Amino acid sequence: MAGISRKYRLLRRSRAMWVSRRVWQPRLVFWAGAISIGLISVLFALLADRAQALFHAMTGHDGGWRFYVPLVVTPLGFVGCAWLAHSFFPGSQGSGIPQAIAARHLRDEDDRSRLLSLRLVVGKIALTIVGLACGASIGREGPTVQVGASVMLQAARWGGMAQARGLILAGSAAGIAAAFNTPLAGIVFAIEEMGRAYEARTNGLVLTAVILAGLASLGLLGNYTYFGVAKDTVAFATDWPLVLACGVIGGGVGALFSLLALRVMRRIRRWNALQPLPRTLMVAAICGLAVAVIGVASGGLTFGTGYAQARGAIEGTPLPAFFFVEKFAAGLLSMVSGIPGGLFAPSLAVGAGLGSTLGLVLGAATGTAALLGMAGYFAGVVQAPMTAFVIILEMTGNHDNVIALMCAAMLGYGTARLISNEPLYHALSRVFIAEAIRRRRAEAEPSRS
C-alpha cells in the first residue's frame, strides 16, 4: 500500500508539473514577444532617424550642387528597394497594415507566413530605412504594425498558442503603441481599424501586449510626446469655422488621397502583370524621380517622414501655403511606387500643412489649425476617426482640445465616406486575400487533373 501511495504521489506531481508548464510556457513566450516588439520598435525608430539624418547630410542645406543629389539618389534608392522587395522580401511592399489585416482573415498557416514572418521583419525594417535614407516620403509606423504582428505570430508558433487572430491583433496594437508612445491609440487602432469590431476574447491579449511593449519602449527612451506638447487651445467662440473647415476640407482631401492611391495601384498591378519585375522597377524609378523633383522644388521640405515640419507647425511656425499639396503628391508617389513604407507620419504632415494654410486664411493660430488639420485629414485617409483623434491627443500631450479634435475627426470621416466608402487599408488587404485564394486554386488544379 505504501508503494502504491508513493507512486500515486509521484504521478500527481508529474501531472501538476506538466499542467503548469503547459499553462506558463505560452504566457512566457507571449510576454517575451510583446517586450521584443517594444525593443524592436525603439531600434527601428533610432535607425529611421539616422537614415533621415544621413540623407540630409548627403544633400546639404547650402544650395550648392549637393542640393540636386536627390535627382540621382532617390530614383536609384526606389529601384533598389523595389527590386529587393520583389526578389527577396515579397509581401513587404507598402505600409504593412493591409498585410496584417489580411493575415487575420486567412486561415492557412502558409498563407499567413507569406505576409507575416521573421524574414519579413528583417526586410521591412531594412528597406524602410533604405527608403528614408534616399528621401522617400514614408513613415515607420505602418511597417511597425507588420513587424509587431509578425513577431507575435511567431511567438504563437513557438508557444503553441492557438489564438492566431487575437495575437496578430495584439502584435499590431503593440507596434502602434511602441512606435508613437501612444498606448491608448494602440488599443483603439486594434479595435477600430484592425478588427473593425470589439472582440472581448482578445482584450486581455491586446492590453498585455501594449503594456509590455510600452514598458520596453519607456525603459529605453523614457516618457515623451511624439510632437512635443501643444500649447494652443481651441476657442469655440472664434475657432468654430476653423474646426468645420479642417474637418470637411481635410476629410475631402484625405479621401482624395485614398481614392487616387487605390485607383493608381490597381492600374499598376494590371500593367505589371505581363512583366512583373521590369515594370515594377520602371514604376519605382519614375516615382522616385518625381519625388526627387518635388523635394528639390520644395526646398527639401517634402523628403522623409515630415515629422519636423508637422512639429514646427504645432509649435506655431507656419508652413508654406502649398506645402500640403507638395507633401500630398510626394506621399502618394512613394506609396504607389511599391517600396516598403508607411503613410502615418507623412499623412499627419500633410494634415498639419493643410491646417496651417487654413489657419492663415481664417486668421487662426497656426498650432491650433495644424492640430485640427491633422485630425480631419488623417480621419479622411484611413476612415478611422477614433484612432485619428486619440493618436493626435497622445502625440501632442494637450487634452484641452478633445472635443474640437473629435469634431474635426468625425467631420473628416463623414466627408470621406461621401467621397469613398472603401477604407484604404481594408481595400488593400483584399488584394493579399485574393492573391492567396488564386494561389490555392492554382495549387489545387494539378491535383484534380
- Quote the pLDDT of residue 279: 94
What's the domain range around 57?
29-221
> What grid cell was written down for 144?
511597425
Distance, C-alpha 55 to centroid of its chain? 22
- DSSP class of residue 302 equals T
C-alpha distances in angstroms, 445 versus 106, 278, 420, 438? 20, 29, 37, 11
Whether the CB-CB separation of 116 and 102 falls below 8 Å is answered with no
Q: Are residues 194 and 167 in the same domain?
A: yes
Q: Are residues 354 and 400 in the same domain?
A: yes
Distance, C-alpha 98 to centroid of its chain? 9
- Quote the pLDDT of residue 9: 55
Q: Which residues contact 249 (CB under 8 A, 6 or more apart)?
A: 354, 358, 376
- Quote the pLDDT of residue 12: 56
Q: Are residues 351 and 302 in the same domain?
A: yes
Task: Give the dihedral sign, CA 45/250/319/265.
Answer: positive
- DSSP class of residue 271 equals H
- Quote the pLDDT of residue 19: 47
Angle, CA of 256, 261 and 264, to the nearest 5° = 120
Residue 6 lies in a domain: no
Q: Are residues 216 and 73 in the same domain?
A: yes
Query: One digit per residue, pLDDT tens: the chain, 449 residues?
Result: 455 555 555 555 555 544 455 666 777 888 888 889 989 998 998 999 999 999 998 887 666 677 788 999 999 999 999 999 999 999 999 988 999 999 988 888 888 889 999 999 999 999 999 999 999 999 988 899 999 999 988 887 776 666 777 888 888 888 888 877 788 888 888 877 775 555 555 667 788 888 888 888 877 777 777 776 777 777 777 788 999 999 999 999 999 999 999 999 999 999 988 888 999 999 999 999 999 999 999 989 999 999 889 999 988 888 999 999 999 999 999 999 999 999 989 999 999 999 999 999 988 888 889 999 999 999 999 998 898 888 888 888 777 788 899 999 999 999 999 998 888 999 999 999 988 888 888 777 665 55
Write out the H or E segment, with its range, that includes residue 343.
Answer: none
d(CA 63, CA 55): 15
- Quote the pLDDT of residue 17: 47
Q: Which residues contact 403 (CB under 8 A, 6 or more apart)?
A: none
- Of 221, 251, 284, the domain-final residue: 221
Q: Which residues contact 46 (CB under 8 A, 6 or more apart)?
A: none
- Quote the pLDDT of residue 245: 94
Rounded to 10°, the helix 70-87/118-133 angle is 170
Give me Rg for the CA atoms of the chain.
Answer: 23
- Of 165, 192, 221, the domain-final residue: 221
> What grid cell was written down for 211?
503594456
Q: Which residues contact 151 (CB under 8 A, 6 or more apart)?
A: 33, 36, 37, 40, 118, 121, 171
- DSSP class of residue 364 equals -
Residue ranges of alpha helices (H) inside 181-340 are: 183-189, 203-221, 236-272, 276-297, 307-314, 323-336
- Quote the pLDDT of residue 59: 85
Number of domains in the chain: 2
Tell me the pTM: 0.90
Residue 260 lies in a domain: yes
Residue 395 phi, psi (nearest 5): -80, -20
Q: Are residues 269 and 411 in the same domain?
A: yes
Residue 18 lies in a domain: no
Q: Are residues 149 and 298 in the same domain?
A: no
Q: Assign residue 279 the CATH number of its domain.
A: 1.10.3080.10
